[in-house]
């Protein structure tokens, strides 16, 4: 999702200065000869102000120094930028509104200039200005107190160049082409070709500039690259895609398999020409999956994009190390989308991702709806298990669902998404949509301010939150874009959260610390199956469902696994010191699609022996954490109806007291961005349960026992 960056001062303002400087003759100029001896002789008001600001020690440069208008001003601009990159302090060129600090990270997306909007300012701009905008917006944000700013690497274009004429000289031909050699566009801009070395080299040159300047990291957007042209049926038909695809097919298929589909010599293949000659273009555009090698082409392009991203990450890492600097890599990538095509995510320290709270396929298809949106909790839990940061933002198409609730109703949903993200040990990043691809949503900022200030004012309820669980949901070890088996795991995690069953979402290699795990997915390697069996042999309990479980190998080919055959029968089966609990029904798929209570209950019953289940009314979720000597309980209301959340009163809650935590001589208080001040309430103990009644609940309350 790209948005146009804000540039503070235009280099064009210097043009008037250049004329005066060149013609003044008598005045003393700076050492490079850019400014005249006296700014007062400059007739243009804006240009005179730039000169006066520079004399006063302010930073006046914006955009590319090559656009300063003369060699003298270019040299002065480059000189000042070099000093800035080395840590030289400049006074900002305008009266600066300093962003509000925060002990807890706040991820900013928009950058605000009005004092009233100070609560919305961020400490981290991880979805920051794109490489196309240079370094000045990064400087602008840091001058105002942003602690970290990451440059955005747009794989498509980042809204910068709408026509080929606007492309830099080195990118004049670095665009994706269609069946007739025509240039392709995407999101109303030129579709740049990420597989073209010219674009890769341009990106690397900008990365060096950014690292020299002091950028804190880089965030990749549109990671699927030129494969999007397959999704739209327009191509791609450039030499870089076509050449690489020949090698991909040669490695994947035998000569006889290719021959059967009309390819006699793969080394001379032009796939776009193959589609044209076989009159398949229309079918390709309608559904590429039904065309010979259509899915292969897309998969190759996904993997090719992944390889380029990894190369760029390695390049940036090496250059940063050479310069003695540390940088972070992030991506607009849902954490739970662990797909085989994209192993570059292993290098990420931060996910800043568009989460689909209101995906079109669910809203328009034969799927059950989530009234407050599809919760982001599985992604936050999974990111936490990987020890990486995750900041969610609404997907641009969610603007339709948000707007359908009206401005106030949509804003209230944003507040809930914000609360849901932070309550699950993640972050939220809000941004307006202003006629972006015809989409619009601008929240009522007055409603947002208290939530942002709450994070700043109450760091104690967000820091060092620990939850030790004995139950985990394993993401499938293997999934692809065409075989998205992760939905089963997401469905189970959402069902557990809805039932207030404490759990983590993890990778297979992290299972050894849990008493019970839920294993999903069809594609497993022999080694991965062995790991699961060893876990059970040592006393672990595995719950699984669907007869297709682990029936494929890592290449998604059917495989015979006699060691699982006797276990994959309805019921509980002993294995070593552990157990295998199996449900033959395809429950993950059913729960994901239909959200029927009866299907959820089957999975809940299977884990009941081990599960730590807290107790709260329907549509209320509780997330208890230990933080030092405190017990922090985040409480979320999911009862959304008629564009608002139901105001609940006298909400009874029972929490399992975490092992090792003592309530002796401690009291309970309630704080909330929906309340003024704090409210002291009483609690009682029932065996290992902490019992209390919440006086009221609107969207988000936090109970503190200390």
Residue 686: CATH number of its domain: 2.60.40.1180
State whether residue 671 is helix, strand or coil. Answer: strand
Q: Which two tokens stand for residue 497?
A: 């959260």
Please state whether the peptide bond connecting residue 19 to the residue before it is cis, i.e. omega within 30 degrees of 0: no
| 87 Cβ contact list (under 8 Å, min separation 6) | 214
Same structural domain for residues 434 and 491? no
Same structural domain for residues 313 and 413? yes
Same structural domain for residues 57 and 198? no
Q: Does 104 fall in a domain? A: no
Of 685, 706, 572, 692, nearest to 635 by C-alpha is 692
Mean pLDDT of the chain: 90
Q: Quick one: pLDDT band at residue 51, thresholds 50, 70, 90?
A: confident
Least confident stretch, 405-409, 478-482, 657-661: 478-482
Q: Does 107 fall in a domain? A: no
Q: Using a cut of 0.85, tell me whether the model's pTM lies above it.
A: yes
Sign of CA dihedral 489, 490, 496, 501: positive
Does the pLDDT at position 132 exceed 90?
A: no
**CB contact at 8 A, 502 and 458:** no
pLDDT of residue 157: 86
Q: Does 483 fall in a domain? A: yes
Q: Which two tokens stand for residue 91?
A: 């006074």
Least confident stretch, 90-94, 266-270, 581-585: 90-94
**Separation between Cα atoms, residue 391 and residue 351, nearest integer Å:** 6
Q: Does 343 fall in a domain? A: yes
Q: Considering 428, 461, 494, which residue would you say is the last residue of a domain?
A: 461
Cα dihedral 302, 308, 310, 312 in deg (nearest 10):
-150
Same structural domain for residues 398 and 502? no
| 617 Cβ contact list (under 8 Å, min separation 6) | 648, 651, 652
pLDDT of residue 112: 83
Same structural domain for residues 191 and 235? yes
Least confident stretch, 380-384, 401-405, 448-452, 687-691: 401-405
Does the pLDDT at position 706 exceed 70?
A: yes
Same structural domain for residues 439 and 578? no
Q: Which two tokens stand for residue 208?
A: 């060096």
Beta bridge partners of 679: 670
pLDDT of residue 74: 85
Q: Does 484 fall in a domain? A: yes
**Separation between Cα atoms, residue 232 and residue 510, nearest integer Å:** 39
The H-or-E segment that residue 155 falls in is none
Cα dihedral 103, 106, 107, 113 in deg (nearest 10):
-110
Average pLDDT of 207-228? Answer: 94
Does the pLDDT at position 39 exceed 90?
A: no
| CATH code of residue 587 | 3.40.50.880
Q: Quick one: pLDDT band at residue 483, thresholds 50, 70, 90?
A: confident
**Separation between Cα atoms, residue 141 and residue 113, nearest integer Å:** 11
Same structural domain for residues 541 and 628? no
Does the pLDDT at position 293 exceed 70?
A: yes
**Separation between Cα atoms, residue 405 and residue 402, nearest integer Å:** 6
**CB contact at 8 A, 403 and 432:** no
Q: Quick one: pLDDT band at residue 315, thresholds 50, 70, 90?
A: very high
pLDDT of residue 44: 76
Same structural domain for residues 588 and 638? no
* Model pLDDT for residues 54-91, shown as the tens digit of each residue: 888 777 776 667 767 678 888 888 888 777 766 666 66
Q: Does 323 fall in a domain? A: yes
3-state SS string for 187-223? CCEECECCCCHHHHHHHHHHHHHHHHHCCCEEEEECC
- Is 519 or 1 the better-scoring residue by pLDDT? 519
* Model pLDDT for residues 490-516, shown as the tens digit of each residue: 999 999 999 999 999 999 999 999 999
Q: Does 2 fall in a domain? A: no
**CB contact at 8 A, 263 and 269:** yes
pLDDT of residue 562: 93
pLDDT of residue 143: 85
Least confident stretch, 3-17, 162-176, 604-618: 3-17
**CB contact at 8 A, 612 and 501:** yes
Average pLDDT of 595-612? Answer: 96
- Pinpoint the alpha helices (H) of 392-475: 398-404, 406-423, 445-457
State whether residue 414 is helix, strand or coil. Answer: helix
| CATH code of residue 329 | 3.20.20
User: What range does the domain containing 632 cover?
Assistant: 620-705
Same structural domain for residues 511 and 397? no
- The DSSP symbol for 19 reads H
**CB contact at 8 A, 635 and 701:** yes
* Model pLDDT for residues 103-124, shown as the tens digit of each residue: 999 999 888 878 899 999 999 9
pLDDT of residue 14: 43
pLDDT of residue 3: 39
* Model pLDDT for residues 238-263, shown as the tens digit of each residue: 999 999 999 999 999 999 999 998 89
Same structural domain for residues 289 and 413? yes
**CB contact at 8 A, 689 and 655:** yes
- In Å, how far are 9, 132, 175, 182, 425 from 161, measured between CA atoms? 20, 9, 11, 17, 38
Same structural domain for residues 578 and 665? no
Q: Considering 461, 480, 505, which residue would you say is the last residue of a domain?
A: 461
Same structural domain for residues 382 and 361? yes
Q: Considering 461, 493, 526, which residue would you say is the last residue of a domain?
A: 461
Only one residue has tokens 């070593």, namely: 576
Q: Does 4 fall in a domain? A: no
Q: How many domains does the chain have?
A: 4
**Separation between Cα atoms, residue 287 and residue 598, nearest integer Å:** 36
**CB contact at 8 A, 209 and 132:** no
């Amino acid at each position: 999702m790209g948005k146009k960056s804000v540039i503070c001062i235009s280099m064009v303002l210097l043009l008037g200065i250049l004329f005066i400087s060149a013609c003044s003759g008598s005045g003393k100029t700076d050492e490079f000869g850019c400014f005249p001896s006296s700014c007062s002789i400059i007739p243009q008001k804006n240009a005179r102000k730039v000169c006066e600001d520079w004399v006063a020690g302010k930073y006046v440069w914006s955009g590319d120094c090559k656009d300063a208008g003369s060699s003298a001003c270019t040299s002065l601009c480059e000189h000042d930028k070099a000093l800035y990159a080395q840590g030289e302090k400049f006074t900002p060129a305008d009266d600066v509104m300093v962003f509000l600090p925060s002990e807890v990270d706040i991820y900013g997306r928009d950058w605000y200039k009005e004092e009233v909007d100070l609560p919305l300012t961020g400490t981290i701009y991880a979805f920051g200005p794109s490489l196309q905008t240079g370094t000045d917006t990064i400087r602008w944000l840091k001058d105002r107190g942003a602690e970290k700013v990451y440059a955005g690497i747009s794989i498509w274009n980042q809204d910068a160049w709408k026509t080929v004429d606007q492309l830099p000289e080195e990118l004049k031909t670095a665009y994706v082409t269609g069946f007739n050699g025509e240039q392709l566009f995407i999101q109303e801009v030129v579709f740049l070709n990420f597989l073209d070395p010219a674009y890769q080299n341009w990106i690397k040159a900008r990365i060096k500039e950014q690292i020299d300047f002091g950028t804190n990291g880089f965030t990749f957007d549109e990671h699927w690259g030129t494969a999007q042209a397959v999704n739209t049926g327009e191509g791609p038909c450039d030499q870089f895609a076509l050449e690489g695809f020949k090698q991909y097919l040669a490695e994947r298929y035998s000569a006889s398999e290719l021959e059967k589909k009309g390819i006699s010599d793969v080394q001379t293949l032009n796939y776009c020409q193959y589609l044209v000659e076989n009159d398949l273009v229309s079918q390709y555009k309608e559904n590429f999956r039904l065309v010979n090698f259509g899915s292969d082409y897309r998969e190759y392009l996904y993997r090719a994009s992944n390889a380029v991203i990894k190369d760029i990450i390695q390049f940036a890492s090496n250059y940063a190390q050479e310069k003695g600097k540390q940088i972070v890599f992030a991506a607009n990538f849902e954490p739970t989308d662990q797909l085989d095509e994209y192993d570059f995510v292993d290098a990420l320290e931060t996910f800043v991702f568009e989460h689909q709270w209101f995906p079109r396929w669910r809203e328009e298809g034969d799927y059950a709806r989530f009234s407050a949106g599809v919760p982001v909790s599985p992604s936050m839990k999974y990111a936490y298990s990987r020890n990486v940061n995750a900041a969610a933002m609404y997907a641009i198409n969610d603007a339709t669902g948000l707007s359908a609730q009206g401005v106030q109703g949509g804003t209230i949903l944003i507040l809930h998404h914000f609360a849901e993200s932070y309550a699950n040990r993640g972050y939220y990043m809000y941004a307006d949509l202003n006629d972006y691809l015809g989409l619009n949503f601008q929240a009522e900022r007055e409603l947002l301010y208290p939530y942002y200030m709450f994070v700043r004012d109450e760091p104690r309820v967000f820091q060092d939150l620990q939850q030790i669980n004995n139950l985990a949901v394993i993401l499938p070890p293997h999934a692809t874009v065409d075989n998205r088996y992760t939905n089963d795991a997401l469905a189970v995690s959402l069902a557990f959260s809805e039932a207030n069953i404490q759990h983590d979402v993890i990778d297979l290699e992290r299972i050894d610390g849990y008493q019970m795990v839920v294993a999903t997915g069809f594609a497993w390697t022999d080694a991965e199956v062995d790991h699961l069996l060893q876990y059970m042999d040592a006393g672990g309990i595995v719950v699984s469902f669907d007869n297709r479980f682990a029936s494929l190998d890592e290449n998604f080919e059917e495989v015979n696994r006699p060691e699982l055959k006797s276990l994959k029968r309805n019921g509980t089966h002993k294995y070593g010191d552990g157990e295998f609990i199996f449900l033959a029904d395809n429950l993950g798929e059913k729960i994901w699609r239909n959200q029927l209570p009866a299907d959820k209950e089957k999975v809940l019953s299977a884990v009941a022996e081990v599960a730590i289940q807290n107790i709260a009314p329907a549509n209320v979720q509780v997330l208890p954490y230990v933080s030092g000597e405190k017990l922090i309980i985040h409480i979320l209301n999911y009862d959304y109806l008629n564009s608002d959340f139901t105001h609940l009163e006298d909400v009874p809650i029972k929490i399992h007291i975490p092992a090792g935590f003592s309530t002796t001589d401690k009291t309970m208080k309630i704080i909330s961005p929906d309340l003024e001040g704090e409210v002291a309430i009483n609690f009682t103990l029932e065996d290992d349960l902490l019992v209390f009644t919440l006086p009221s609940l609107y969207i988000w309350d936090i109970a503190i026992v200390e």
